[in-house]
């Protein structure tokens, strides 16, 4: 049966950082809704043009568009054993749509690690984040700096700062998270799937906690 893990947490909690580290260990592809939108922006697709305004304002892209995009992604061959979801679902409507999609694929969400980090730490993390142009590898100028400033350690591509990491937009994104996404904490807690992880620890400690807490996955 395909298995799906949903990474939950506010913007800057470290979802993308952890997903990139643990997806290989778990043998599950990393499916990030934010990365797919950014890829579409870069390739100047119709979807990218539609998403841009919402992303620049720090708002969510409408549910119907996002759900269709993730449905398409999860239907691909590399997701036939499941996926590690990062940034989706983000509203109760998306969570219900995901349950429906996974039922069609004979799979289910098996665990929902919720990485919690206080707001003041999030603002610092996003203000200092640098992302690689080619593959989206993530760095922080103080907490996780690249070996050479401005260059990705892994693929040598240039690093850039995201447009939506400006302080005002970050505050808006945190507000949107509290309003629209945080109800999912209870949604998954009631299903007994929520695993709370303290995201204020160092990156490698968070990884260890996550891997220890996740159920064993047979691939």
Asked about 90 being catalytic, the answer comes back as: yes
Query: Is residue 140 a contact residue for ligand AP5 (CB under 6 A)?
Result: yes
Among residues 144, 157, 161, 182, which is the contact residue for ligand AP5, using CB under 6 A? 144
Q: Is 2 exposed, middle or buried (0-12, 13-18, 19+ CB in 10 A)?
A: middle
11 binds ligand AP5 (CB under 6 A): yes
| Catalytic residue chosen out of the listed positions 90, 125, 193, 209 | 90
Kindly state whether residue 166 participates in binding ligand AP5, applying the rule CB under 6 A: no
Q: Which is nearer to ligand AP5, 47 or 111 (CB)?
A: 47
- Report if residue 174 touches ligand AP5, rule: CB under 6 A: no
Under the criterion CB under 6 A, does residue 16 sit at the interface with ligand AP5? yes
Candidates 72-80, 103-111, 126-134, 149-157 — which segment interacts with ligand AP5 by CB under 6 A? 126-134
Contacts of 185-190 with CB under 8 Å at 24 or more apart are: 185/8, 185/114, 187/92, 187/95, 188/6, 188/8, 188/95, 188/109, 188/112, 188/114
- The edge-to-edge listing of strands for the beta sheet with 138-140 is 138-140, 129-132, 159-160
């Amino acid at each position: 049966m395909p298995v799906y893990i949903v990474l939950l947490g506010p913007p800057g909690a470290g979802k993308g950082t952890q997903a990139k580290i643990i997806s290989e260990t778990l043998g599950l592809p990393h499916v990030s809704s934010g990365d797919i939108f950014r890829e579409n922006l870069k390739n100047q697709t119709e979807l990218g043009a539609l998403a841009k305004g919402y992303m620049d304002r720090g708002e969510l892209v409408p549910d119907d568009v996002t759900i269709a995009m993730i449905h398409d992604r999860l239907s691909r061959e590399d997701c036939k054993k499941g996926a590690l979801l990062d940034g989706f679902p983000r509203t109760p409507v998306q969570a219900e749509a995901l349950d429906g999609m996974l039922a069609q694929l004979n799979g289910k969400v098996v665990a929902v690690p919720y990485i919690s980090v206080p707001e003041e730490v999030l603002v610092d993390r996003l203000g200092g984040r640098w992302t690689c142009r080619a593959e989206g590898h993530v760095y922080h100028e103080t907490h996780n700096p690249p070996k050479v400033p401005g260059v990705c350690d892994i693929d040598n591509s240039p690093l850039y700062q995201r447009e939506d990491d400006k302080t005002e937009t970050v505050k808006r994104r945190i507000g949107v998270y509290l309003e629209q996404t945080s109800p999912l904490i209870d949604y998954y807690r009631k299903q007994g799937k929520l695993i709370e992880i303290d995201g204020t620890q160092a990156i490698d400690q968070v990884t260890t906690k996550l891997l220890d807490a996740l159920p064993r996955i047979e691939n």
